[in-house]
Amino acid sequence: MNFRIQNIIYSFSRWLNLLLEPKKEWKAIAMETNSVKSIFIYFAFPVIAVCSLISSIGALIHIGSLSIVISQFVVSFISLNLGFLMAGKMIELLAPNFQLQIKPSTIYQLIIYSGSVFYLFHSFAKLFSPYSFLNQICLVFELYFIRVLWLGISPLLPIAENKRPGFTIVASLLILVLPLIFERMFSVIFNLPVTI
């Protein structure tokens, strides 16, 4: 029990450090040698569970149906995990275009840690009614993950400076679009209200 609590505290402290001091946190991440499995278990799953819970609270506020709240949690949890997984696989396939030969664990470090910043603000946006001022502020803050991603590329990847902007754009689009596509797809399948 204590081991799991320590892992949860570790993942949330890392999340907070990525928000507040991304450059320093990326240097610490670059020193680690985690497997893809450990990155998902110790960081991604707790973070995605919190983001899914926040999305569910937003569904409860706006819709009020318990079945939709539970469905929203499941859809959000699955779509965010699939988004991380597919973004990592796509970057693995695209890496040779940027003259990169990198380990999958490094790719997933970059995708999961920077993507967690996006998913946090995306979940908070669901708490507020669509097109409200606070909703729009959260949607703008979602783009902060691009800076976090940019700062993480240099410590983690041996990429040429001229390839770095292109890689950032491709990775950002994959992190941004894939989870939203999965979320929309599952929302239609499970007949849930479609949100941003």
Domain with 150, as residue range(s), is 27-189
Alpha-helical regions (H) of the chain? 2-20, 22-30, 36-39, 45-62, 66-94, 104-125, 133-141, 144-156, 164-189
Q: Considering its fold, how many domains does the chain have in total?
A: 1
In a domain, 72, yes or no: yes
The whole-number average pLDDT for the span 140-146 is 91
Q: Is residue 21 domain-resident?
A: no
Task: For 31-63, give one letter per residue: b (16+ CB within 10 A) or e.
Answer: eeebebeebbebbbbbbbebbbbbbbbbbbebe
**Number of neighbouring beta carbons within 10 Å of residue 101:** 7
pTM passes above 0.85: yes
Report the distance separating Cα 60 and Cα 163, nearest Å: 44
Amino acid identity for residue 92 in this structure: E
Is residue 114's pLDDT more than 90?
yes
Average pLDDT over residues 101-108: 88
**Is residue 4 over pLDDT 80?**
no
Q: Residue 16 above 60 pLDDT?
A: yes
Weakest mean pLDDT among 59-73, 82-96, 138-152, 155-169: 59-73
Residue 59 has pLDDT above 90, yes or no: no
Q: Is the pLDDT of residue 5 over 90?
A: no
Whether residue 131 is contained in a domain is answered as yes
pLDDT surpasses 70 at 195: no
Q: Is the pLDDT of residue 89 over 90?
A: yes
What do you get for the CA distance between the two ends of the chain, in Å? 36
Domain annotation covers residue 59: yes
pLDDT over threshold 50, residue 193:
yes
What pLDDT score does 64 carry?
80
